[in-house]
């Protein structure tokens, strides 16, 4: 007994010693509060140093003279609601330019501020001008040409929410000049240094990437790579037609490499791939003065820089000798490149900024971004490798808490977002925060991550949740348990975006592994995720089809349902904390609402935070701190780590405001046919005789079909009944078709329909029955569909019915439509989501944007229709998602001409 008591005392002493050796609990504000200073840049003329620092309690842009002390700096912006995250100088140093959205909605505007402008006493800053003052529009900056320092090249999707047209914007006046209208699904544009638009990049209907030369003959494809390959322009070589290009095209090529490609002749010249044969080409440094390539960059376990000139090799060696150990990166420079901003960071240091004078070799410390953060108490991040269950080697980073034995630790698995991204060695606030709280942290670069070659990336295609991507994460848990590092009863999982999805998937599909989970803006249902992606992602939708799946493909849809954690919520046993931004355009709040409701309804422990002023990730300081406080408290409760109990009153109040009582969460109810009103009030007296000419483009099964059609609306009678007769005449590839719908002149409900072309259709409509036949060759298919209430037609029958609706902003209605292809009545919700000025071949129109979406579980049928604001509301533009049985894809239609009728 004495021996047992002695052993117990020894164990107690050992445990106490371990606790005593742990570093002090670091205040969460040092991890997640605003840095003291960040983002330094030097103006091209070398007169000013700019940086980000708090002004009015929010991170804003400041400026000082290059030789002035930092306490002499003055603020340039005065945003009080959202930090300014990024900015740059105009080429002539006249303006500081920055982008800003509203509440995380990612509809960025570009602003310009004159550092020498008059100070507004109310804000303490010069006035900022909005160069892109368009609502519900996302601006993208493509080029800041050296040759025209008073202009920038900007993409705007005000004409079409899915596509960015390219404009030249005058920085002094804000005047914009159209360079090219994007009518060919281009996702990105490339300029040379003179400001000339040279290339476009788009995703083809097959999912392949196409590089297009911009010329007098339009857009000409000059290079392509498949959906499972990568290629893209980097920068034009000065004075030539050659471009530096990244590519891994070819069966015998795995790692992305750097080549020269001549955009006129198509000639290729190999430049370089990773000298160590491990990683994709990651980046390059160029001289803006000479145009020469200075260095190439690869990221293996750590960043590797390869100088390309003798002079730069000497400079890099000199910098490494004078700067602290860590990853060196080059920032902004003066126009003559005499002075450069250089930053250094490492796993236990978020970084410092230096001013480097290339002429004298002097290196001056400007600031440390978080000088109060005690690096000596932070934990080292180590690259590790482990084997997945199928033998594939998985690269990862492991951070062990300082001062604790490396055995039996609570562990947090942190899958990265993307998922087509990767984790890198270096400072990460969440990693260090968790390690300081006593957790081991594993960050796996599971298959599907970028940077390790196309075979590793493609191995993740459609392998979400129940597939190999999640298995790689699960095998990381097994690796830590086998090494004795992890306490198998205290393993948690936390991630954002795709990492949030992987958290939900881990809890749902491998519930035996995890004791707690934190999902941060993570999708719970892959089908609803795909339906809600931002419209400006449309040009890259085919990449989602290949790497995640196509919801309109029956086989993919079935798999996506299995891979959606929401559908396996009953299997979740571990407590869950869900964090969501209300304005998230990528992962809508409904994704979090639905998993919270599912778990709540089964009596499962679930906590919920929602920030009404955030999007895909939290930018606001108080939101970040409140979220971190709740996260560490949650993990301490369920995994046993340390927890900082103190909290400033304002953070406590913010946390209370973010916390949602899960009992109050409700889901938007899906209307059914039984819920739908019998007839939506569509007024046929609003209709006027007209002839409308439309041009349509249909993308389906890798093909592009072009259709021209003429729609004639005339007054007539049928069996003594006053009707509107709507005749559509269409032509495609030399084939003609005719479709006639006759509608009651008062209600616009269909009475009769007949169509001819490759087959023949004859239908009669009554309030509770639709019957007729479809003839295709020798086959006759009878149609007989009973309805509980009258249904509108589809196609022209529905669009003309829209023309008689009392549309206005905020209008919503539920309608029944008969879908001829599916041969059934579908319930559709239509809503006016906004207004927009549309310019097409027929003219310029003020329109309502009408969204039409099916309220059943069948894919396809979703449409966005721009209709004339002044009645009748004839369609000006439409985009319709086709159902799977029609091959999926999209049909886009625009009004080409309109002529008033005579009867």
Q: Which residues are catalytic?
A: 497, 584, 616
CA geometry: angle at 766 spanning 764 and 769, to 5°?
A: 85
Q: In the numeric block, which tokens belong to residue 89?
A: 């100088």
Cα 9 from Cα 887, distance rounded (Å): 72
259 three-state secondary structure: strand
Contact 879, 676 (CB under 8 A): no
Taking the C-alpha atoms of residue 242 and residue 460, their distance in angstroms, rounded to an integer, is 34
Angle (deg, nearest 10), helices 621-639 and 429-436: 40
158 in Cβ contact with 137 (< 8 Å): yes
Cα atoms in the Cβ-side hemisphere of radius 13 Å centred on 640: 12
- What 3-state DSSP class applies to 839? strand
Positive or negative, the CA dihedral 879, 883, 885, 887 is positive
Structure tokens at 409: 């630790």
Residue from 69, 74, 64, 53 nearest 125 by CA: 74
Dist CA 283 CA 296 (whole Å): 6
Pairwise CA distance, residues 888 & 54, whole Å: 50
Contact yes or no for 696/709 (Cβ under 8 A)? yes
Tokens 């919920």 belong to: 608
Torsion angle (degrees, nearest 10) of CA 769, 775, 776, 777:
160
* Helix H or strand E encompassing 75: strand 74-75
Q: Alpha carbon of 597 to those of 51, 139, 202, 664: distances in Å?
A: 44, 36, 39, 9
Query: CA triplet 110, 116, 119: central angle to 5 degrees?
Result: 85
Count Cβ atoms within 10 A of the Cβ of residue 531 and give its class: 0-12 exposed, 13-18 middle, 19 or more buried: middle
Beta-carbon count within 10 A of 308 CB: 16
Alpha carbon 112 to chain centroid distance?
25
CA distance 37 to 28: 18
How many angstroms separate the CA atoms of 802 and 811, rounded? Answer: 12
Q: From start to end of 445-546, where are the E strands?
A: 486-496, 516-520
Whose tokens are 């891979």? That residue is: 563
CA dihedral angle for residue 68, residue 72, residue 73, residue 75, rounded to 10 degrees: -160
> End-to-end alpha-carbon separation of the chain, Å?
109
Helix and strand totals (H; E) in the chain:
14, 51
Whose structure tokens read 């191995």? 459
Compute how many other C-beta atoms are within 10 angstroms of the C-beta atom of residue 562: 15
Closest CA to 95 of 123, 116, 124: 116
* Residue 556: Cβ within 10 Å count: 21
d(CA 730, CA 736): 6
Cβ neighbours, 10 Å, residue 569: 23
Nearest to 254, CA basis, from 394, 454, 461: 454
Query: Contact, 801 vs 818, CB < 8 A?
Result: no
The count of other CB atoms within 10 Å of the CB of residue 447 is 24
């Amino acid at each position: 007994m004495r021996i047992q008591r002695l052993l117990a005392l020894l164990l107690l002493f050992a445990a106490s010693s371990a606790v005593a050796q742990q570093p002090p609990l670091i205040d969460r504000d040092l991890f997640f509060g605003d840095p003291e200073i960040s983002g330094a840049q030097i103006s091209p003329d070398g007169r000013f140093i700019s940086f980000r620092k708090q002004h009015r309690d929010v991170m804003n842009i400041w400026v000082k003279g290059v030789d002035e002390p930092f306490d002499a700096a003055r603020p340039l912006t005065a945003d009080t609601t959202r930090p300014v995250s990024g900015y740059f100088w105009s080429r002539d140093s006249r303006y500081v330019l920055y982008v800003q959205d509203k509440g995380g909605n990612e509809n960025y505007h570009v602003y310009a501020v004159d550092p020498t402008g008059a100070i507004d006493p109310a804000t303490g800053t010069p006035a900022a001008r909005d160069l892109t003052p368009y609502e519900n529009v996302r601006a993208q900056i493509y080029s800041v040409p050296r040759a025209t320092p008073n202009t920038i090249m900007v993409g705007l999707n005000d004409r079409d929410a899915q596509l960015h047209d390219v404009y030249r914007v005058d920085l002094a006046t804000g005047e914009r000049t159209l360079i090219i209208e994007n009518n060919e699904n281009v996702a990105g544009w490339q300029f040379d240094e003179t400001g000339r638009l040279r290339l476009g990049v788009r995703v083809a209907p097959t999912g392949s990437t196409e590089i297009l030369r911009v010329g007098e003959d339009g857009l000409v494809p000059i290079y392509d790579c498949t959906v499972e390959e990568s290629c893209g322009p980097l920068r034009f070589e000065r004075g030539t037609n050659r471009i530096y290009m990244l590519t891994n095209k070819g069966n015998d090529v795995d790692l992305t490499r750097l080549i020269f490609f001549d955009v006129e002749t198509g000639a290729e010249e190999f430049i370089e791939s990773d000298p160590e044969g491990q990683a994709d080409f990651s980046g390059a440094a160029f001289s803006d003065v000479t145009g020469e390539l200075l260095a190439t960059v690869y990221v293996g376990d750590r960043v590797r820089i390869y100088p390309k000139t003798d002079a730069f090799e000497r400079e890099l060696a000199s910098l490494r000798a004078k700067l602290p150990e860590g990853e060196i990166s080059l920032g902004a420079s003066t126009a003559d490149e005499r002075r450069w901003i250089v930053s250094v960071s490492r796993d236990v240091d978020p970084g410092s900024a230096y001013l480097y004078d290339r002429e004298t070799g002097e290196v001056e410390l400007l600031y440390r971004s978080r000088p109060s953060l005690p690096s000596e108490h932070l934990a080292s991040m180590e690259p590790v490798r482990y084997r997945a269950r199928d033998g594939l080697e998985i690269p990862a980073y492991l951070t062990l808490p300082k001062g604790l034995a490396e055995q039996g630790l609570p562990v947090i698995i942190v899958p990265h977002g993307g998922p087509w991204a990767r984790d890198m060695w270096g400072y990460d606030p969440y990693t260090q925060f968790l390690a300081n709280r006593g957790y081991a942290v594993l960050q796996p670069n599971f298959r599907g991550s970028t940077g390790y070659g196309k075979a590793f990336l493609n191995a993740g295609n459609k392998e979400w949740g129940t597939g190999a991507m999640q298995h790689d994460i699960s095998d990381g848990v097994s690796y830590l348990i086998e090494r004795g590092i992890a306490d198998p009863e205290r393993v948690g999982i936390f991630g954002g975006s795709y990492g949030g999805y992987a958290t939900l998937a881990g809890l749902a599909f491998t519930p035996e592994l995890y004791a707690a989970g934190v999902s941060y803006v993570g999708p719970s249902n892959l089908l609803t995720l795909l339906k809600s992606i931002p419209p400006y992602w449309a040009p890259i939708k085919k990449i989602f089809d290949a790497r995640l799946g196509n919801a309109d493909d029956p086989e993919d849809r079935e798999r996506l349902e299995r891979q959606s954690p929401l559908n396996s919520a009953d299997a979740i046993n571990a407590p869950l904390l869900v964090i969501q931004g209300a304005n998230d355009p990528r992962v809508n709040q409904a994704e979090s609402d639905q998993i919270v409701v599912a778990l709540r309804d089964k009596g499962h422990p679930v906590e919920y935070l929602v920030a009404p002023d955030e999007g895909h990730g939290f930018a606001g300081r108080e939101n970040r701190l409140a979220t971190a406080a709740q996260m560490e408290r949650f993990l301490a409760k369920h995994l046993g780590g340390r927890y900082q109990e103190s909290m400033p009153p304002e953070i406590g109040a913010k946390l209370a405001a973010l916390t949602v009582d899960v009992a109050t969460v409700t889901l938007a109810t899906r209307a059914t046919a039984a819920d739908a009103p019998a007839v939506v009030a569509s007024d046929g007296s609003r209709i006027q005789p007209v002839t409308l000419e439309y041009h349509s483009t249909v993308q389906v099964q890798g093909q592009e079909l072009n259709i021209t059609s003429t729609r004639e609306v005339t007054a007539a009678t049928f069996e003594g009944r006053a009707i509107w007769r709507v005749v559509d005449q269409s032509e495609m590839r030399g084939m003609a078709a005719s479709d006639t719908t006759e509608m009651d002149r008062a209600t616009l409900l269909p009475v009769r329909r007949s169509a001819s072309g490759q087959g023949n259709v004859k239908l009669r409509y009554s309030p509770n029955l639709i019957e007729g036949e479809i003839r295709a060759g020798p086959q006759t298919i009878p149609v007989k569909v009973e309805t509980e209430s009258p249904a509108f037609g589809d196609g022209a029958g529905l669009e003309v019915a829209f023309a008689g609706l009392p549309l206005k902003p905020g209008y919503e209605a539920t309608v029944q439509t008969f879908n001829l292809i599916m041969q059934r009545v579908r319930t559709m919700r239509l809503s006016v989501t906004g207004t927009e000025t549309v310019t097409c071949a027929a003219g310029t129109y003020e329109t309502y944007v009408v969204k039409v979406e099916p309220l059943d579980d069948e894919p396809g049928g979703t449409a966005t229709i721009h209709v004339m604001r002044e009645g009748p509301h004839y369609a000006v533009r439409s985009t319709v998602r086709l159902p799977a049985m029609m091959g999926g894809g999209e049909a886009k239609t625009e009004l080409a001409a309109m002529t008033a009728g005579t009867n």
